[in-house]
């Protein structure tokens, strides 16, 4: 069986003069200054904004096309007591955005009837459903606010309008050539939208709309008696949804997530506190990694494995006992999700290996695969083989699923190129959803692979690890770690800094973890020594003389009250193998 595709190591080469300027002017270590330069920081002004930016640096929400129009309509509904339906996606982004809108409206208009709807992933699928909107109309709802969906739902919006239901669309997915005929369409990716931050998550768009609503209320004198709504109180939800949706942590997103994590550490709401507790993590020490890998997956498990509405209910509930109960359910469902994911991944890998030659685009389908985990499995297959991946479930003559793609190959553009074969698609450059008639599956597989193959001839698919700096053991310590902490949160777009330690000798390697699946070790070189950990590894490669090149992040370790810095191993190989040099940081 083939092993995972080995990643090339690419040592970035930022401008030395810029690195020296950042280091001397900002008091940063050279390694930390290199990280800043590698993030596209081009001068001191950019660096100051990156390190010390505040919420006052956020762009004016009124720059969002239709935001003021949507805000005016929402305020009118609140004043008149018109019931509002919040129609949100079934993932963490949709749930957190729905919770923001629900809690804001309840605070502004305590007697306003407000309800959240999230589709059942298996029965109703993705997007606005005309039947749900019709049922809501019969229940007296004449205003619908979407969260994290709706931009491609032209038909359901038109039908709702014909039935007397007004729709405000808030979404962050790429619009098509025609926008829904809604009261307002709030989406920073609209071609005619002047808002400069195009990569907001769905919860971020909803939050910005609420900022516009508060501004409208303020103009009307709504808060003259005091009690103005505190928007910081929603940033915990914005942070969770943004990280869980893997939105780029740059610009406004990074500011919102950073401040949201601070809110979680200070005073987590019952639902978030319960999710942290279920994950075995203290919210007082919350990090972006906790949101992305511990709390976010539990929230997403609601829609992946069962009743999606639990993901918003836990976030809006003031009841500690109810929140704890839902968190336990979601932890159980997350365990089921992990087992189902492992089963499907094993079947998919076996199928790829049995087929022999790996195509330029991997398209796999099976009727027994659970729809809720296909995106996760697609990501893992992408990591293993370095090719665009489509994972589909076949049911009732249709094939529906998720796509993931390598950097540089836009999967949503590729899908647009073969859209006549599809019944539905949408998403982003590296992640998308797709549906098609199962009879078109073979042709879809051939045509997508053809597009990918033509792309690969010009720009081959290569998985790379971008290295920020080569450093020695003597440079690893609290000062560098403190500098890096100022650059958090890390994630998509502001990746975790990686460093290279060459020609190290690995000693004292011992197994740890419940089944011995991890390693604890020491790295020695140039008279120094530093501790490290390697997760999901049973050995660290070395050359014939026992030397290794190590690629790592830095992590603070606290043991019995003593703090130290340790390596968090990301990759390793025998010493002396070539490293690509001269990689250019983004500009």
- 277-286 pLDDT, tens digit per residue, is 999 999 999 9
pLDDT at 174: 86
The pLDDT tens digits for 422-478 are 998 887 888 899 999 999 999 999 999 999 999 999 998 888 899 999 999 999 999
pLDDT at 26: 96
Task: Report CA torsion sign: 42, 46, 48, 54.
Answer: negative
Tokens of 149: 């969906």
pLDDT at 579: 85
Q: Which residue segments constitute the domains of the chain, with CATH numbers given? A: 8-15+465-583 (2.40.50.460), 61-330 (3.90.1640.30), 357-462 (3.10.310.30)
Q: Give the pLDDT band of residue 122 (cuts 50, 70, 90).
A: confident
pLDDT at 225: 80
The pLDDT tens digits for 284-327 are 999 999 999 999 999 999 988 889 999 999 999 999 999 999 99
- Please answer whether residues 186 and 67 qualify as being in contact, where contact means their C-beta atoms are separated by less than 8 angstroms: yes
pLDDT at 514 over 90: no
SS3 content of the chain, % helix, strand, coil (to 5): 45, 20, 35
- Please answer whether residues 303 and 148 qualify as being in contact, where contact means their C-beta atoms are separated by less than 8 angstroms: no
Q: Average pLDDT, stretch 522-535?
A: 92
pLDDT at 586 over 80: no
pLDDT at 1 over 50: no
pTM of this structure? 0.88
Between helices 296-305 and 270-278, what is the axis angle to 10°? 90
pLDDT at 176: 86
């Amino acid at each position: 069986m083939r092993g995972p595709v080995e990643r090339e190591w690419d040592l970035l080469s930022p401008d030395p003069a810029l690195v020296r300027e950042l280091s001397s002017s900002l008091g940063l270590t050279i390694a930390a200054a290199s990280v800043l330069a590698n993030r596209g920081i081009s001068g001191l002004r950019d660096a100051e904004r990156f390190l010390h930016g505040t919420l006052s640096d956020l762009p004016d929400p009124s720059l969002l096309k239709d935001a003021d129009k949507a805000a005016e309509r929402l305020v009118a509904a609140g004043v008149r007591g018109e019931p509002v339906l919040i129609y949100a996606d079934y993932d963490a982004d949709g749930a957190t955005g729905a919770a923001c809108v629900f809690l804001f409206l309840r605070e502004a208009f305590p007697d306003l009837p407000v309800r959240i709807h999230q589709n059942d992933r298996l029965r109703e699928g993705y997007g606005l459903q005309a039947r749900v909107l019709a049922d809501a109309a019969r229940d007296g709802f004449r205003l619908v606010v979407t969260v994290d969906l709706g931009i491609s739902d032209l038909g359901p919006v038109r039908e709702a309008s014909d039935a007397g239901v007004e729709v405000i669309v808030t979404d962050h997915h790429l619009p098509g050539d025609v926008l829904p005929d809604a009261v307002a369409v709030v989406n920073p990716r609209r071609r005619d939208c002047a808002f400069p931050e195009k990569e907001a998550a769905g919860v971020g768009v909803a939050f910005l709309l609420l900022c516009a609503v508060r501004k409208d209320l303020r103009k009307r004198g709504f808060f003259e008696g005091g009690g103005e709504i505190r928007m910081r109180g929603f940033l915990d939800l914005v942070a969770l949804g943004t990280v869980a949706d893997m939105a780029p942590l740059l610009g406004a997103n990074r500011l919102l997530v950073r401040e949201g994590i601070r809110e979680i550490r200070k005073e987590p709401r019952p639902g978030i506190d319960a999710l942290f507790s279920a994950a075995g993590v203290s919210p007082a020490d919350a990090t972006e990694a906790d949101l992305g890998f511990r709390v976010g997956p539990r929230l997403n498990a609601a829609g992946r494995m069962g009743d999606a509405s639990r993901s918003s209910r836990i976030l809006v509930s003031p009841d500690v006992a109810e929140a704890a109960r839902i968190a336990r359910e979601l932890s159980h469902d997350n365990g089921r999700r992990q087992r189902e994911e492992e089963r499907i991944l094993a079947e998919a890998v076996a199928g790829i290996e049995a087929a022999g030659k790996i195509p330029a685009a991997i398209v796999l389908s099976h009727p027994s695969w659970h729809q809720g985990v296909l995106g996760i499995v697609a990501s893992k297959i992408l990591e293993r083989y370095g090719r665009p991946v489509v994972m589909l479930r076949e049911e009732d003559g249709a094939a529906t699923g998720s796509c993931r793609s390598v950097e540089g190959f836009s999967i949503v553009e590729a899908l647009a190129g073969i859209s006549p074969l599809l019944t539905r698609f949408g998403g982003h450059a590296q992640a998308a959803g797709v549906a098609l008639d199962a009879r078109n599956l073979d042709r879809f597989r051939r045509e997508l692979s053809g597009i990918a193959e033509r792309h690969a001839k010009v720009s081959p698919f290569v998985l790379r690890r971008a290295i920020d700096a080569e450093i020695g053991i003597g440079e690893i310590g609290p000062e560098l770690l403190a500098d890096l902490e100022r650059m958090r949160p890390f994630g998509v777009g502001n990746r975790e800094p990686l460093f290279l330690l060459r020609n190290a000798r690995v000693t004292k390697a011992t197994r740890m973890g419940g089944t011995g699946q991890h390693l604890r070790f020491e790295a020695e070189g140039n008279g120094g020594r530093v501790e490290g950990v390697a997760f999901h590894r049973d050995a660290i490669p070395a050359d014939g003389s026992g030397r290794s090149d190590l690629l790592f992040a830095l992590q603070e370790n606290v043991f019995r009250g003593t703090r130290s810095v340790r390596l968090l191993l990301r990759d390793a190989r025998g010493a002396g193998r070539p490293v690509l040099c001269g990689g250019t940081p983004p500009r």
